[in-house]
Amino acid sequence: MYGLGKHFNYDDDVTENEIFLAKRNRNSQQRSMSISSESSSLDGNEMDNHGDHKILFPRDMRQKFQEMRLKFVSTFSQVQRKFDIKKNFFEIDEVKKFIGDWFPDLKPQLSDKTTIGKVLDALKRKCNIINLRPLEALAFEFNIEDAIPIIKSFKEEAKDFSNSVSVSLCLGEELQAVATPSRLLCETVVFVLNWDPEKHTLQDINDVLDELEPLNRFDYHLQSLQVDKIGRGNSVVVTCYCPAEYTGSLIMAVLGKVDTMQSKGLKEFILGNCTVWHTTQVVSKNTEETDLQAQINNLKASLGEKDERIMATEAELAKFKELSENRLKEIETLQKDLKESQRIN
């Protein structure tokens, strides 16, 4: 669900397209199977002798992603300089408080930041290479007027890029601006869209997620794409991140918009490894909010228990590693003492 690896095969004898072998490791395969029961029906004709999926990959697509990433870096740096020029017109603690209220999970990272550049570097985690919305909101909030035209120009380029890139050509491409730190299982959100990847673009995905407009103030951003061949058709799996404290609001928002999102192709909505909604389910408009909230609480409790078990296992492994390192140091000390005693004798 997190970052998908990229494997590119380039052959100079191929003039128009490359064969992109998307290697699916066992963990990714298991996660895909848990996401959709249909994923066991992969069409064998679309695989080579090594079990890799064959996808035609234009020669210049990787370069386009690199160019978009460079535009993001350049734009972010320009805006940082505009903030730095205006640093005497606002208190850095006010900026940190605003970001912390908006993204509570960033508070620990912001606590020791003393310059606006470092503060904005922390905010960069909430952007991706086609979305600068958090930075734009901050510029508006603190009246950094010179930054607005720069961001506007980037948004136009990002939209053109999103409209020009089909989903099928984004397999495994990271949209994150900065590598995301580890997170809880219940913070991983997945939308399965019943689409033909060849006929949809990145912008189509943005349009679907824009239906969740109330969540724009949360850290709810497109993270990575995975395309699977399922049965007779194709599905697009969009993996996102939502802080644990907002997952209840996310569920309410999705179920409240589920008819509209289904009309745009939503087939499955997953939180952690639990399917919250599937196209075969009907959400009653008469469903009491208290009942829905109870379902949300039960789901979060279930995911929380699994996360606790995972963290407990990680803690045990850390203790074992520490114990092993201490034992190794003891052995090294004994060996050193033995050598010293041999020299004396």
Q: Give me the domains of the chain, ranges plus CATH numbers.
A: 17-59+165-278 (no CATH), 62-164 (1.10.533)
Give the model's confidence band at 14: pLDDT under 50 very low, under 70 low, under 90 confident, else very high. very low
CA–CA gap between residue 306 and residue 308 (Å, rounded): 5
Taking the model in full, what pTM does it have?
0.57
231/133: higher pLDDT: 133
Give the model's confidence band at 182: pLDDT under 50 very low, under 70 low, under 90 confident, else very high. low
251's tokens: 């569920």
181: Cβ contacts below 8 Å, ≥ 6 apart: none
**Cα-only R_g, the chain:** 24
Give the model's confidence band at 333: pLDDT under 50 very low, under 70 low, under 90 confident, else very high. confident
Residues linked to residue 335 through DSSP beta bridges, in sequence order? none
Q: What is the three-state SS of 108-147?
A: HHHCCCCCHHHHHHHHHHHCECCECHHHHHHHHHCCCCCH
Range name among 20-29, 52-61, 324-333 with the lowest pLDDT average: 20-29
pLDDT in tens, 90-144: 999 999 999 988 888 788 889 899 999 999 999 998 888 888 989 999 999 999 9
Give the model's confidence band at 42: pLDDT under 50 very low, under 70 low, under 90 confident, else very high. very low
